[in-house]
Chains A and B, each alone.
Chain A
């Protein structure tokens, strides 16, 4: 008789992927539990991003759920001595992501239940309703959420403070990211990886949110860089213990947090056991719902040695709400000094017969893609009235992909608006665009505004975050969706009709650019710290 199906050899490529995943997970747990007897219970996962880890310390009697249909087998790492405590680790090794998941993990966006008819009838009124609800939530959140810094005791001189052990390894830094996907915070995270390597530090990168981590292959191919997949294999409650082990094993001298929640939760451990480790975070945007990462940073501010921010709004936020001491909150703009010279001429001219608008951003609610389409629709009507030929480009990917395509078709804009993927050549696009639309519901200080201005394109943005630091009043429109659409058309109309208005805006942009470029850049405030750490200093 022939063999049973279960005896069929597995695909070698699949076996190699599985072995690589198991090796990654083993390395994490073997560092975390250096002396214990480790007992890995492995199963085949049906999730591309998360191993659903479960860690049981102490004796464990196997349960039926340890041996389900997807059970692969067990691995044992002997303890360092007889009678070493046992730790059981259950892992469902993630499968390879499917092509659709690589492109987009989030499900396509749909209107909220019960509001589909409203969205179909008037997308803008739907957005207006959502905006109203969000502002109501913001008012409540301001009252509810904790807005004070946790106290940190300095300890008594009666007790010796822990001292950094000698290490034969070069100093290292642990850089914690939210995830390795597209975003402004992630851009800064990647920059800090490059700067830390340039300063001579060994770099360990972790991410807190399980994801495909599409940008992982953009990390520098450098022998001093290690990306550890804690996001896949380690529950958040074990991160502080892992960070402690890693810091001791790898001579980690600093932790830099970029929107990485479990690293904030590791700060207590760091302050108590490893006080020589410098703690730095970078924050970008105050979220409406609960303040987001700046609020978390504010609450932990006594535990942080340096709070790097990208805008003046955040400097004021930490000073006014959390009473951060002068010098701890450091402004470092997300600007590249080599691009910080004089602005090129801004392209838009009064009375011109063509207008190219662009939108660049992830197609998530925060960027309000529906408002972008409604703005383009209103601009198209304005253009038709004034004999102007409107064209537009939308760059980005996300759950709003399908909605955007349908709305453009519905409004008859498909032939005028080009949709491009996220890897488009942005500088080239900005160099042929007259205006950049940015009707976001929230921003810190949108990087794309810097880029637009640096390439001669005029941004028109909602008045959120620190956008007023880069744009004059005439280019800032109200946040409410209907007013944002009307305000954008009015701003374009004013510049198109009146050369004086246009000239004033250009002058104001130039002045704002000069002000911004006078501030230190993120690289200028972080590199000295990295260099000191690299030389073995802790100050």
Chain B
């Protein structure tokens, strides 16, 4: 909890200028506006740069951080949080370019982070929103993971469950967590960077799920992350996911953790009737993950 409340929104975008503008509209309509809206542009080739710069001229809170190449969502969040940290933000609101926060979403996250500590003494490492799909249902891929005693501080009026893993879709991270645990791992490129990061900072204390803070995630479909859903089109993402989670499990749990993970992936693929040629590639990514040891950058 801080007497300083400077807040930076970190939005990573790539070639989705239309959705990004809707996100910037939603941020401008917040009941507690971020002091800095940092648009991390992963070298978009559409009109993103021009539109963001035009907006920035009218709204001094908007900063355009254009990266020379596309370094993936993980690289973008790393670069964005690093820049926001250097700008002196006390809170980092991290989200995607296709997630529209309801007007009080950021205020609710901030109020929950400070209110939780005032009520209970403990300092949550992050606060995450309820992420809904465009039809109002829960967005399957953005469901946070609870800890075993998630209900410890859940009370009427403060229904904040303890969680230790969340996606980078409307999650607020306090500065102390970045100071103590460093930045997201850019080398992951895409997938599992958010899970690894929130699990890492949750070692200090779990985060909280804040259901009164709502964002709408405008994805093409509402599917979870399950290796039974691997197909030719999504294979590349799943391969990154398999490599990154294997690397994390190797680091945190050792070989037994990796074996348990591989066994679970195998089961999901069998139940999903994933073609054997795709399965082999996923197994290859798991093997690659065994030797993948990306560094964690401290601030």
Do A and B form a real pair?
yes
| Distance, CA A300 to CA B2, complexed state (A) | 45
Choose, from A68-76, A147-155, A276-284, A317-325, the stretch at the interface.
A68-76
A-facing residues in B180-216 (Cβ within 8 Å): 205
Whether B7 is near chain A, meaning CB under 8 Å from some CB there, is yes
**Interface 0/1 of B1-16, CB less than 8 Å to A:** 1111111000000000
A101 to chain B, nearest CB (A): 10
**A13's contact among B28, B35, B118, by CB below 8 Å, is which?**
B118
Q: Is the beta-carbon distance between A98 and B1 smaller than 8 angstroms?
A: no
| Distance, CA A68 to CA B90, complexed state (A) | 11
Whether B110 is near chain A, meaning CB under 8 Å from some CB there, is yes
Q: Is the beta-carbon distance between A6 and B7 smaller than 8 angstroms?
A: yes
Q: Is the beta-carbon distance between B88 and A99 smaller than 8 angstroms?
A: no
Quick one: given A3-B32, A13-B118, are A8 and B88 in contact (CB under 8 Å)? no
| Distance, CA A11 to CA B119, complexed state (A) | 12
Whether B243 is near chain A, meaning CB under 8 Å from some CB there, is no
Whether A158 is near chain B, meaning CB under 8 Å from some CB there, is no
A3 to chain B, nearest CB (A): 7
Whether A105 is near chain B, meaning CB under 8 Å from some CB there, is no
Residue numbers in A under 8 Å from B6 (CB-CB): 5-6, 69
Q: Is the beta-carbon distance between B123 and A46 smaller than 8 angstroms?
A: no
Q: Is the beta-carbon distance between A98 and B121 smaller than 8 angstroms?
A: yes
Quick one: given A69-B88, A69-B90, A69-B175, are A5 and B123 in contact (CB under 8 Å)? no
Of A4, A11, A44, which is in contact with the most chain B CB atoms at under 10 Å from its CB? A4
B120 to chain A, nearest CB (A): 8
| Distance, CA A322 to CA B181, complexed state (A) | 49
Of B85, B121, B175, B179, which is in contact with the most chain A CB atoms at under 10 Å from its CB? B121
Whether A15 is near chain B, meaning CB under 8 Å from some CB there, is yes
**A1's contact among B2, B33, B35, B106, by CB below 8 Å, is which?**
B33
| Distance, CA A18 to CA B2, complexed state (A) | 10
Of B5, B34, B114, B175, which is in contact with the most chain A CB atoms at under 10 Å from its CB? B5
A418 to chain B, nearest CB (A): 23
A518 to chain B, nearest CB (A): 50
Residue numbers in A under 8 Å from B5 (CB-CB): 5-8, 10
Q: Is the beta-carbon distance between A98 and B122 smaller than 8 angstroms?
A: yes
Whether B23 is near chain A, meaning CB under 8 Å from some CB there, is no
B-facing residues in A1-47 (Cβ within 8 Å): 1-8, 10-11, 13-15, 18, 44, 46
Q: Is the beta-carbon distance between B122 and A5 smaller than 8 angstroms?
A: no
Q: Is the beta-carbon distance between A5 and B114 smaller than 8 angstroms?
A: no
| Distance, CA A182 to CA B110, complexed state (A) | 38
Q: Is the beta-carbon distance between B3 and A5 smaller than 8 angstroms?
A: no
| Distance, CA A236 to CA B176, complexed state (A) | 27
Of B3, B5, B85, B120, which is in contact with the most chain A CB atoms at under 10 Å from its CB? B3
Q: Is the beta-carbon distance between A98 and B3 smaller than 8 angstroms?
A: no
B137 to chain A, nearest CB (A): 29
Residue numbers in A under 8 Å from B110 (CB-CB): 5, 8
Q: Is the beta-carbon distance between A46 and B121 smaller than 8 angstroms?
A: no
| Distance, CA A7 to CA B32, complexed state (A) | 9
**A5's contact among B1, B7, B88, by CB below 8 Å, is which?**
B7
Residue numbers in B under 8 Å from A10 (CB-CB): 2-5
Q: Is the beta-carbon distance between B4 and A6 smaller than 8 angstroms?
A: yes
| Distance, CA A515 to CA B122, complexed state (A) | 51
Q: Is the beta-carbon distance between B61 and A99 smaller than 8 angstroms?
A: no
Residue numbers in B under 8 Å from A18 (CB-CB): 3
Residue numbers in B under 8 Å from A15 (CB-CB): 3
Q: Is the beta-carbon distance between B28 and A1 smaller than 8 angstroms?
A: yes
A4 to chain B, nearest CB (A): 5
**B30's contact among A2, A14, A46, A69, by CB below 8 Å, is which?**
A2
**A46's contact among B28, B89, B91, B179, by CB below 8 Å, is which?**
B179
Q: Which B-chain residue is minimally distant from A102 (CB atoms)?
A: B121
A526 to chain B, nearest CB (A): 39
B-facing residues in A86-110 (Cβ within 8 Å): 95, 98-100
Residue numbers in B under 8 Å from A7 (CB-CB): 5
| Distance, CA A11 to CA B121, complexed state (A) | 14
Q: Is the beta-carbon distance between B34 and A70 smaller than 8 angstroms?
A: no
| Distance, CA A6 to CA B9, complexed state (A) | 13
**B106's contact among A5, A11, A14, A69, by CB below 8 Å, is which?**
A5
B211 to chain A, nearest CB (A): 21
Q: Is the beta-carbon distance between B91 and A5 smaller than 8 angstroms?
A: yes
| Distance, CA A98 to CA B5, complexed state (A) | 20
B35 to chain A, nearest CB (A): 5
Whether B31 is near chain A, meaning CB under 8 Å from some CB there, is yes
B-facing residues in A49-71 (Cβ within 8 Å): 68-70
**Interface 0/1 of A242-267, CB less than 8 Å to B:** 00000000000000000000000000
Of A11, A15, A69, which is in contact with the most chain B CB atoms at under 10 Å from its CB? A69
**B122's contact among A3, A68, A69, A99, by CB below 8 Å, is which?**
A99
B269 to chain A, nearest CB (A): 36
| Distance, CA A46 to CA B88, complexed state (A) | 14
B117 to chain A, nearest CB (A): 8
| Distance, CA A49 to CA B214, complexed state (A) | 37
| Distance, CA A275 to CA B224, complexed state (A) | 78
A-facing residues in B92-136 (Cβ within 8 Å): 106, 110, 114, 118, 120-123
16 further A-B pairs in the complex, CB-CB below 8 A; given A1-B28, A2-B31, A4-B32: A2-B30, A2-B32, A3-B32, A5-B5, A5-B35, A6-B5, A6-B6, A10-B4, A10-B5, A13-B118, A14-B1, A44-B4, A46-B179, A69-B89, A72-B3, A100-B205
A–B Cβ pairs within 8 angstroms, 6 of them: A2-B30, A5-B33, A5-B110, A69-B4, A98-B205, A99-B120
A residues adjacent to B (C-beta < 8 A)? 1-8, 10-11, 13-15, 18, 44, 46, 68-70, 72, 95, 98-100
* Cβ-closest 3 pairs across A and B: A69-B88, A5-B7, A10-B3
